[in-house]
Structure 1
């Protein structure tokens, strides 16, 4: 076996930067082989872009601080040169702002406007577009900084910087928000990049533009940064004066020229802002915070658990002092201003993140030196997971902070039949500052008013207000974030929401809009996707749609076969008897669709004539009270949406459920009479609740949150069965040649458990067709088997990543033991965290989706920990290999299956912000798709074929490791890899 060692050479030259007056070290590296670190570098950049787009999609609306730039973008895109229609002339705000940032983003967004208009999208779609474009600009600046970090501190620090940015919430969440600080932030981040590259004059130019156009406060930052450059002899004072003065004059001139046109008067906006905040000293009118607030509250919330590591970096690497000290001085100086907000020190977050990355990278470099460093490295992984969990909570709470925008959108959806009618809409101040913008004004015939004084509500047909108003009917309400609340049962913590904006209609509205239907349909299609699909259906995509429909028909037919041609029921039935010493007993929950749903209740009250069957809707004012508060029995009864008792006319009758969206309903029995004369407070010999949904003969049987899951499981059980057959054929193919592939054997076991899990779940669904109700223990068993399959697949990936049956360098004893521990822990945790609570006290009646709980988050955090260990294994296997084929294998294998580890947490995170009735089906179906893709990759990589360069097998006679089946002329022979 021959070994080729490639030497890594580098040449270093020193040149003078004529602009900065300092010396610049330029290192030219001869091209090196790609490593897993390089791939992580690229993947982390994609992840940053992806996360930013997720934030935009989930939280598209803006608040009052962002309103000027957002309305300016709207007016530039919609009204263009018709300045008289611009919003700022009617609502100029307290102080004028520059149009330059809004103009730049609008120009970049304008091509997308034609696409949106072509497909019939509304103006609301352009809100997503301008937010995404602005976010793209900011993230691109961060990526540019990250690459400068790689050149200055090394690729390891750059990758750690990206991970720190991903795991903190505020930076990526706000980077797409049209705040003046965010426009300045992009320039400041680019200035940091050039600062790291020792291109000081460019850095000073960018800081000057940010100061004189967007935010004069950047001067407090530019001072310490410039002083650092001068002390370090990276900048000449004469160059500073020339570049600073010229750039400042040009910036002021451009601002006066452009802003005077839009404001219709000679104006330099940033000068007026400076005078307002300093000479007039009125910024304190918006609140005052103590001197230490930035250090004690703002920075810990922004950087979370990474903050101590940022300070530690100044001890770990002396080069960090040059960059951290000026930023610390900036925050210290800014603390003297009484009015404080996190957005004022956004500019500090990238450099603090750099400091944290320096410390993290240094810790991992010392991984093999001692056991302590190994423990600390594992702690870093734990901090990363903890920050992800904390960021998800911040994200969830922030997504509920825009009730005005949600209400404004639903106002148009609820009254879509009246968009052509001339109606008057009044928007209360609370709604206006929590998400309402010109982008949401979909109807050209409606008159939108934001008047705050002398408002006569009788003049309006539609109203958005924080309180219900007499003379108006409440058509809907939007709840917003109030606080976090700790619970005694899973999920142990939850977000408390309360109605904040009511959507109200005038009682005279039906006269003005005769087409108005009493049953509303909310369809969210701001970007015209429905029309795009219709366009596709009418053209070349029609063949694909026909194939899909044919598959759907076949799957439905197959499901009928699986259910043994049972007679079809028409509802899900909850029935049984209740003996309880408690005064209130939760039966179960069911999610009804918005159309044609019915419920039939039959209760035998003869033993408890004072008992009551209670129906709770999922409104925060109804079920929200029950799930979050310790209420008395009478309070629980009074909170119910509907009641059925022994004298009620509803007992035994079928009642339609008329609602405007899919909604959870909770069924409970209560008996508040303490004088029952029996040991049991509740004694119901028989009850039957028959819930019927809209849909076909099967979908009508099950809860709306589960519709679509059975059909998907049928399709994927066939797919996984085909993969199992393929793997068995591969094993037999090798067996006939006296060869063995242990990877394919273990993979077959994984597929067996996956298929068994889906089959058990299908039995659960088939029971609905015969018995009109499923046995939940069967569903628990199916899910538990699926968790076992997932744990076995993780074990397979860890073994292959370590070189099992592939490389003669198959790890050491410690790493093998860690693999076993990882497998056992993930298996026990998965089954225990899911199974034990459901078997004991059935919290599934209370929560909507299991992974959207604290135990679920713990499981996902450990899942990410295993992912880090998998990356380490693949990287070590890659480094030890000499054979180029095997090096490529570990490179691609590590990259590809890292994404498999990420898919589950990502799907859960995204579904966490979807409506509660689609979360479960979204995650289940998405992960079936993901598993089918990555299982197929395993089958392809380890297929038994003489033309396959990546198949790694073991000769059963010689028991040699690292043998590869290769083509040799007409026949085949075994060659040592």
Structure 2
């Protein structure tokens, strides 16, 4: 997935560009020009930027040049590795608790689904939080280290994504009811991890956002999106969207198996409460509930194991066919999704066809949203300057001293000032002709 779709979308840009600033300048800059609707925490970006710093700088020294897009791929590899390690932790826990057959089905369900594997290396805040959720699930599966599980979820909720608190709450109650953790241990773990996480995000983000008062980004996000209801400005979906649309899309064949699983009550109740709570919000996206996917796969794997061990030929054919169907669908969706980044492709072509320096490039909003990240830029010392000012006409571009422009189609009207260097087609959709 990483090789097939190396570019990124605008939703990934905050963390991606923060990591770029850390690697390039040693300080955060891009957010001052493009702050976004709400302030986000820089803690995850600083963490992954630190992990990527040594390999990227070592390779740049080794090859004596700016790696540009290769650096973006390395950053994404680091993020992807964090998610893989979390998923592998769940895999190992599955084997220890339910056996090797359940472990195998868990791996098959996970790798043949589309969304988690495709987005695992992307710098969406939800995917940066996912490793903490999967490690917590692994410890819950093993019925040991419950304090670490609680601590992981608390840190994820306080620093990265506040909605994880809606998953943490029912999980904590469930662990208390089943006596997997004592009340004192639960409160102690939550207080210690929560205090440390809160202090970290407030100190780091208040300083980097240059706020005059203390800033807790996730609290601000709750105020903006929930209390003020501003998330509705990005679209409103019906209450049943998560259950009838996004959850089946995320989990595919695993969902019906999970619903009839012998361990459904253990692994689906808390995620179910989480989804119901999230359904109360007007704006809905699949990535807001992506954390439930490993839980569904765990339950589905136990169910699939029970069916497989009956040695019923029909059951086995259904399992094999369902997994193969998911693999084919995932491959198709990966190819289709790779066509969604015309801005990144345009930047790649521009740098290939314009080898000289002293170039001043304007990048339109569409290109910036579909792959033209800072990692696709050449550095200023190489004689390239980039501008992303919005709403410029072609006359503005002609008067602005630009030598090149990456813009949307200007139509059939002949342009006497600009020559077309190359055209990149975007993906409009899938159309079936019968």
Q: Give the TM-score band, short-chain normalised.
A: over 0.9
**Among residues 302, 305, 308, which one is paired with 2:250 in the alignment?**
302
Number of the residue aligned with 2:269: 325
**Among residues 225, 245, 248, which one is paired with 1:277 in the alignment?**
225
| Distance across 2 between alignment mates of 1:360 and 1:482 | 37
Number of the residue aligned with 1:335: 279
Work out whether 1:352 is the aligned partner of 2:296: yes
SS at match of 1:98: coil
Number of the residue aligned with 2:2: 56
Number of the residue aligned with 2:46: 103
SS at match of 1:59: coil
Number of the residue aligned with 2:186: 240
For 1:198-277, list aligned pairs within 5 A.
Answer: 198=143, 199-265=145-211, 266-277=214-225
Work out whether 1:424 is the aligned partner of 2:368: no
| Distance across 1 between alignment mates of 2:319 and 2:125 | 34
* Preserved contact between residue 267 and residue 298 of structure 2 (Cα < 8 Å): no
Which has more radius of gyration?
Answer: 1
**Among residues 58, 65, 77, which one is paired with 1:115 in the alignment?**
58
Deviation (angstroms), 1:443: 4.4
| Distance across 2 between alignment mates of 1:472 and 1:116 | 38
For 1:669-688, list aligned pairs within 5 A.
Answer: none
| Distance across 1 between alignment mates of 2:110 and 2:203 | 37
TM-score with structure 1 length normalisation?
0.42
SS at match of 1:338: coil
Work out whether 1:145 is the aligned partner of 2:74: no
Number of the residue aligned with 1:465: 407
| Distance across 2 between alignment mates of 1:280 and 1:173 | 33
| Distance across 1 between alignment mates of 2:87 and 2:253 | 21
Describe the superposition over 1:229-262 as per-residue Cα deviations: whole angstroms up to 9, x where unpaired: 1111112222222221221111010112222332
| Distance across 2 between alignment mates of 1:386 and 1:121 | 42
| Distance across 1 between alignment mates of 2:125 and 2:135 | 16
Number of the residue aligned with 1:392: 331
Number of the residue aligned with 2:126: 181
* Preserved contact between residue 122 and residue 442 of structure 1 (Cα < 8 Å): no
* Preserved contact between residue 95 and residue 272 of structure 1 (Cα < 8 Å): yes
| Distance across 2 between alignment mates of 1:250 and 1:275 | 22
* Preserved contact between residue 409 and residue 440 of structure 1 (Cα < 8 Å): yes
Work out whether 1:166 is the aligned partner of 2:108: no
| Distance across 1 between alignment mates of 2:255 and 2:333 | 17
TM-score with structure 2 length normalisation?
0.93
| Distance across 1 between alignment mates of 2:267 and 2:96 | 15
SS at match of 1:93: coil
Number of the residue aligned with 2:69: 124
* Preserved contact between residue 267 and residue 296 of structure 2 (Cα < 8 Å): no
Describe the superposition over 1:497-527 as per-residue Cα deviations: whole angstroms up to 9, x where unpaired: xxxxxxxxxxxxxxxxxxxxxxxxxxxxxxx
For 1:966-977, list aligned pairs within 5 A.
Answer: none
SS at match of 1:108: helix
| Distance across 1 between alignment mates of 2:343 and 2:373 | 9
Deviation (angstroms), 1:94: 1.1
Deviation (angstroms), 1:121: 4.8
Number of the residue aligned with 2:37: 94
SS at match of 1:478: coil
Deviation (angstroms), 1:219: 0.9
For 1:487-506, list aligned pairs within 5 A.
Answer: 487=433
- Unpaired runs of 5+ in structure 1? 1-54, 368-372, 489-977
SS at match of 1:481: coil
Runs ≥4 residues deviating over 3 A:
none
| Distance across 1 between alignment mates of 2:254 and 2:184 | 39
Number of the residue aligned with 1:905: none
| Distance across 1 between alignment mates of 2:286 and 2:56 | 33
